[in-house]
Amino acid sequence: MRLLSLLLTVSLTLALAYYIYIPLPDAIQQPWKLMILDAYLRTAFHVASLKQWLGFDHQTRSFRQFTFGFEGILKEFLSTESSAGAVPGVKVSDISFAGIPVRVYEPPAGGEGHLRRGLMYFHGGGWAVGTTKKGPYDITNRMVSDELNTVVVSVEYRLYPDVHFPVPYLDCIAAAKHFLSPEVLAKYSIDPDRVAVAGDSAGGNLAAAVAQEISVDDSMSVKFSVQALIYPVLQALDFNTPSYLQNQYIPVLYRTSMIQFWLQYLNIDLSLMPEFLVNNHSALQHSSLTPELRSRLDWNVLLTQKYKKNYKPVIVEKGSEGFLKRVPGLLDVRAVPLLAGPEVLAKCPRAYILTCEHDVLRDDGLMYVRRLQDAGVAVTSDHYEDGFHGCFSLTSWPLEFDVGKKALRGYLSWLQNNL
């Protein structure tokens, strides 16, 4: 009986280790912590898929509940209350800007005659998950507000599956225009020359698109002075860039997961994922994808050899006929900011772009750095060789990574010196 119990324990232990273990590059520090986090997220995804199959709820809504539940488990360590204790002077208000829910963080300093910085933040999560009101985003925005004497406005834009593109973008641009109005800036004692827009991942996509739109809108008397993009997702036409291939199995954002986020956002049938994996959706036969447009995301030109490595472009002659006409969002700069023309980029505010070596989105960010620089925009490129997608938000115990703390401190320092 003891032997049977021992064998069962060993078997279960090995099975658990096999489920958790993922080969990771040596550069990634604290690998087991990342593996355990990824195992939890994978389990949550599988359970959410099962619930949808059984007819209980949409997979994405269930997955959101699981991630919120995980934050609840860690409430003793990552709660709003505990973070508020660290920055007791920050005032938090849940209101709306132009009908869009936002959370406003007001620093204790300032007041009449003392103008403050302003920052609008869009959270990540593949346009499908995430919230400004819990966990890392809440903690980070409190830190920014307190340390930099900044009024931070974090936007709760609508998410998939309730909406698709362009609704999240429209929510963000509406909130941004409201925030930049002279009346609102005056209400919060914000210096109109010191207002930033920022975001991570899908939020970085929204921040880049909003910055572009505001920069060319002549009706706006106040515009963003800087933009800060944290591993932004910027294009959906080439899923065979060096970083997509190099990091396709690196947690917490796999290549197939990012493609699925894009399909969901653009309201494309998920069964078409194989077409996207091999770039059939951007084949040469598509006349709407002109050579000029292709050059705006040609990584073979825009990346240095260090990042191109030995990878070769995947160019398809004939793919899915008429696909781009059926899904115009693939060429819409509001969804794909990397496709913006040089005349638009030239008007954009100076930028901070954070990229991570072990992230499928690395090359999106690096190509945007190059394109902005070519358009004459001052850009600070902050690249972390030991970084992975999501690390920026992993700064508090027990989900604490050294690279995350470095990335957060680099972001804060740049804003301190440039905003």
Q: Active site includes 269? A: no
For residue 264, give the nearest of 158, 122, 161 by alpha carbon: 161
Give 130-134 contacts, CB < 8 A, sequence gap 24+: 130/159, 130/202, 130/203, 131/68, 131/156, 132/102, 132/103, 132/156, 133/80, 133/94, 133/103, 134/68, 134/71, 134/80
Per-residue buried b or exposed e for 397-417, using 16+ beta carbons within 10 Å of the residue's own CB: eebebebbebbbebbeebbee
Among 83, 364, 389, 396, the one annotated catalytic:
389
Return d(Cα 48, Cα 41) in angstroms, integer.
10
Terminal-to-terminal C-alpha distance of the chain: 68
Among 171, 359, 364, 382, the one annotated catalytic:
359
CA distances from 103 to 75, 92, 121, 156 (A): 19, 7, 10, 8
Tokens representing 222 are: 């106040």
Q: Active site includes 201? A: yes
Among 201, 225, 393, 396, the one annotated catalytic:
201
- The residue to which tokens 């119990």 are assigned: 5
- Locate all alpha helices (DSSP H) within 160-241, ordered by sequence: 167-179, 182-187, 202-215
CA dihedral sign of residues 69, 75, 77, 79: positive
Tokens representing 18 are: 């096999």
DSSP H or E stretch at residue 325: helix 323-326
DSSP H or E stretch at residue 249: none
Tokens representing 55 are: 């007819």
For residue 122, give the nearest of 200, 67, 226, 209 by alpha carbon: 200
Q: Active site includes 389? A: yes
CA dihedral sign of residues 286, 292, 297, 299: positive
The residues annotated with a catalytic role in the active site are 201, 359, 389
